[in-house]
Structure 1
Amino acid sequence: MELLTNNVWMMVCTALVFFMHLGFSLLEVGLTRQKNAINILFKNVFIICTGLLLYSLIGFNLMYPGSFIMGIIPDYFVGLFGLHAPVADGALDLTYNEGYTYWTDFLFQGMFAATAATIVSGAVAERIKLSAFMMFSIIYLAIVYPIAGSWKWGGGFLDELGFYDFAGSTLVHSVGGWAALVAISLLGARIGKFGEDGSSHAIPGHNVPLATAGVFILWLGWFGFNGGSVLSADPSATSLTLVTTCLAAAAGGISAFLVSTIWYKNYDLTMFLNGILGGLVGITAGADLMSPTDAVLIGLIAGILIVAGVALIDKVRLDDPVGAVAVHLICGVWGTLAVGIFGALAGFEQFLNQLIGVAVIGAFCCVSAFLILFAIKRSLGLRMETHEETEGLDLHEHGMDAYAEFAGKVEPAKQ
């Protein structure tokens, strides 16, 4: 009965994490312009389909190799290319890890894998070639994400060091965030984002209600993202994790709203929304270790970092249409370090372990992302032509319009 309960809970959480991809899609579409809506949606559909296939063929075994070469390189050649469930007496071994089945484990982890590329999608929106993005996503999801994850979740050297990342502030969010930072540095800003005098110009998204719906869907999905990372249906651990997750989200939203209101003298809904996401990312590394008070403090600081992070990205003339770097990278780093400051593991030694983990993953992801993107830039090219970007990626990449009827491109039905 316990195995059944755990397995059912994990499958529910898997469904919630899958639902998050709709949230990412709506958030990105809402915060970008109408002329690029289909392009955004296409990338998100591509990511989840490709991510699951790549994770089944390569990623899962690479992330959980069973052994390492020199403690760093996953010994993945055994069992590579396909899923190989443990079998006992000719049938599926249901005692796989005394909590849930092999298939449930794969599917839950596979939903996480696609998230890393989705983070990059929002940051590079409205000017990257679709072919370039797809090529980058394939390589990054197949190789970089699972290797980084193996160093902690697969029992690698960061796990042996004592580095702690409960549900992926570093191993999911910052893995995507570092790549996003490298990508927007190589791509450059959208046309019209920065003036010749260095001034920054807001490029409003075309549908903030969609973006708002996306954030609420993501918040709901985080019940599975963090709740499922307990890896069982244990009532005490699961309920505490969900409480800390929600309190951090609420605190992050309030903090970002208040700070941005003081700073910019207006009630900025997009900053409020990103504050919620920043709180969620911040609590993800230690949601199972924190008290409710700890969670609120982590969320409050995450909200402040969102406002400061968005301003910093603008200051250095980088263009991130959805605030992905501030949310997933800056708050991901903060949440990881917070494990050494708050909660059950707090202490200088743990903080140092967390710092080492952040630095190692950051260096690996930045170098990997740069090499992949630079190679693509020199071969396929990264950026759309100026006239294509101006007229919209939907027209030039897809030959479609997301709102054809409202654009006057659909013939009225004859009576």
Structure 2
Amino acid sequence: MRRSSLAGALMLSVLAALIVPAVSMADTLEASLNGQFPESRAINTMWVMVAALLVMLMQVGFMFLEIGFSRGKNAGTIVAKILTNFSIAGIMFWACGFALAFGAPVSDSFNVAGKEGFFLQGFGDPATAFPVLGIFDVTVETKFFFQFVFCAVSLAIVWGSTLERIKFGVYIIYGIVFAGLIYPLGAHWVFGGGFLQNGDYLGLGLVGMQDFAGSTAVHLIGATGALAALLLLGPRKGKYGPDGKPRAIPGHNMPLFGLSVLILWFGWFGFNGGTALSGLDGRYPEIILITNLAAGSGVLGALLMSKIKMGTLDIGMAGNGAIGALVAITAPSGYVEAWTAPIIGGIAGLLVPICVIAIDKKVDDPVGVLTAHGICGIWGTLACGLFTAPRLAQYNAFGDPNGGLFYSGSFDQLLAQVVGLLIAFSFVFLMSYGTFWLIKKTYGLRVTEAEEDAGLDISEHGMYGYPEQFIPSAELVGYGAAPAASAKAGAPIATTKEATA
């Protein structure tokens, strides 16, 4: 009886949350209908929503990047994975993620989670319901969508390390936990008004951690989840030889990879520039300039180091140099002067080949997630402690107003960055490792060896991303060519009629 009563109460609570309209939504609609929507709010809302759509476009970048670095037999499954995870993130962040990440704190004394805005319903004044976002003159719906696409990016980062051997169902299970709990709590602590951002913890008298757009809150959190998965998943078949040395497993499409880098680069202008959450104060053009300077320096730094380390100007390293630099500039982009951007981005680019080669000796990370989003995310977060300018420190009310080490001569901000990094990494790693361990013991993490050999396209989805490469010519009605795998060297390519005869 008690169980049924409790279940009934929970159902009624959920229904009430869904049925009762949010005050902010009603006010927004009424103001719009009456022509009372403030011009400043309209401009800010339009800019932030455009920025959010640019960030959403980054999902295409992640999809093409992973397809390009995969073998042809695993190209199609990545499309399904991106669509599925974006959908899961959208629903879970609406249901509980946004409230946990940006809602008014459960406890003022130790701010670990928000409590307002579940299902984006049932809250009063938005300025008090979402205090860290309350100072921005943007509609709640816009703030929600902008933060949701950040969550979706962080979730997408996790899976680049697991390509070509993970069960599809793992995406769904972990995606629910990540978007509903792990990411929201980590993001709340770092840039949602939580204890790491305000510095009021441990009794050490620390200033608040700075992370403008998410080098830690988005990128390192995603990379940490990837590390936890990799340790339990293991390498792809054939990645390491009998001597334990890594073997190259080349991706099948470098032009697609190049397109992905440019799409991500473009989306990052919304990622960093939109985080100003204003189209009126003029900060976002400077932030976009800083972002672009860092990315270009990252490409050049990676090319230089790949030539030194590998003797070649490696295409993959150049692309990851851009991505690593963009990750690195994400945290400091709103707090640093333009002259620091080439330094921050250039160092990230130099780190990419060094770290990719070193990590590849121990774990199989096909697209370089641990380097581009992990190592470079750490570097970008630490860069705030070095380069934050006093004139811009005011935009993080809890940071050191005197700026970073190179301006103030003080280690206060750098210490806050180090402590914040360690706490955020430890939390996400323990939660992710525990979740993947439970999945491994119950549902399972990895496809069978036979399924891995066949490719995830056919074993998980019953179809091929590139059918003409794998299906016998007699079955390829209408394709106009024999499969490349069956064509003999120097033999003429069969016509459609010959192939289907």
TM-score by length of 2: 0.78
Q: 2:153 aligns with which of 115, 134, 143?
A: 115
Structural mapping, 1:82-97, within 5 Å: 82-84=120-122, 86=124, 97=135
Structural mapping, 1:38-57, within 5 Å: 38-57=76-95
| Residue 395, structure 1, aligned to residue 458, structure 2 | yes
| Residue 366, structure 1, aligned to residue 405, structure 2 | no
Distance 1:86 1:268 in 2: 54
Deviates more, 1:130-139 or 1:333-342: 130-139
State the partner residue of 1:329.
374
Distance 1:131 1:362 in 2: 25
User: Which amino acid letter does the alignment assign opposite residue 65 of structure 1?
Assistant: G
Distance 2:290 2:117 in 1: 38
Shift of residue 196 of structure 1? 1.4
User: Which amino acid letter does the alignment assign opposite residue 74 of structure 1?
Assistant: A
State the partner residue of 2:307.
261
User: Which amino acid letter does the alignment assign opposite residue 259 of structure 2?
Assistant: A
Q: 2:416 aligns with which of 312, 333, 353?
A: 353
Rate the CA distance shift 1:305–1:98 in 2: closer, same or farther, 3 A.
closer
User: Which amino acid letter does the alignment assign opposite residue 275 of structure 1?
Assistant: G
State the partner residue of 2:478.
412
Shift of residue 272 of structure 1? 0.2
State the partner residue of 1:197.
243
Contact 2:89 2:179 in 1 (8 A): yes
Structural mapping, 1:67-216, within 5 Å: 67-69=105-107, 71-76=110-115, 79-84=117-122, 86=124, 97-161=135-199, 162-216=208-262
Distance 1:313 1:221 in 2: 27
Distance 2:119 2:142 in 1: 18
Distance 1:327 1:383 in 2: 24
Q: 1:218 aligns with which of 264, 279, 290?
A: 264
| Residue 305, structure 1, aligned to residue 382, structure 2 | no
Tell me, which stretches of 5 or more residues in structure 2 are unaligned?
1-38, 127-132, 200-207, 390-402, 406-410, 480-495
Deviates more, 1:150-159 or 1:388-397: 150-159
Shift of residue 98 of structure 1? 4.5
Contact 2:209 2:420 in 1 (8 A): yes
Shift of residue 343 of structure 1? 3.0
Rate the CA distance shift 1:169–1:378 in 2: closer, same or farther, 3 A.
same
Shift of residue 407 of structure 1? 4.0
Deviates more, 1:213-222 or 1:149-158: 149-158
| Residue 340, structure 1, aligned to residue 372, structure 2 | no
RMSD of aligned Cα (Å): 1.8
State the partner residue of 2:20.
none
| Residue 286, structure 1, aligned to residue 332, structure 2 | yes
Deviations along 1:20-60, one digit per CA (max 9) or x if unpaired, are 10011000100111111111111111111111111101100
Distance 1:191 1:259 in 2: 29
Shift of residue 210 of structure 1? 0.6
Shift of residue 80 of structure 1? 2.8
Contact 2:101 2:114 in 1 (8 A): no
The structure whose Rg is larger is 2
Shift of residue 152 of structure 1? 2.9
State the partner residue of 2:64.
26
Deviations along 1:256-301, one digit per CA (max 9) or x if unpaired, are 0110011101121000000000000000001012222200000111
Distance 1:261 1:235 in 2: 43
Distance 2:370 2:459 in 1: 27
Contact 1:85 1:102 in 2 (8 A): no
Rate the CA distance shift 1:102–1:306 in 2: closer, same or farther, 3 A.
same
Contact 2:88 2:172 in 1 (8 A): no
Shift of residue 309 of structure 1? 1.2
Higher RCO structure (Cα 8 Å, ≥6 apart): 1
State the partner residue of 1:381.
444
TM-score by length of 1: 0.94
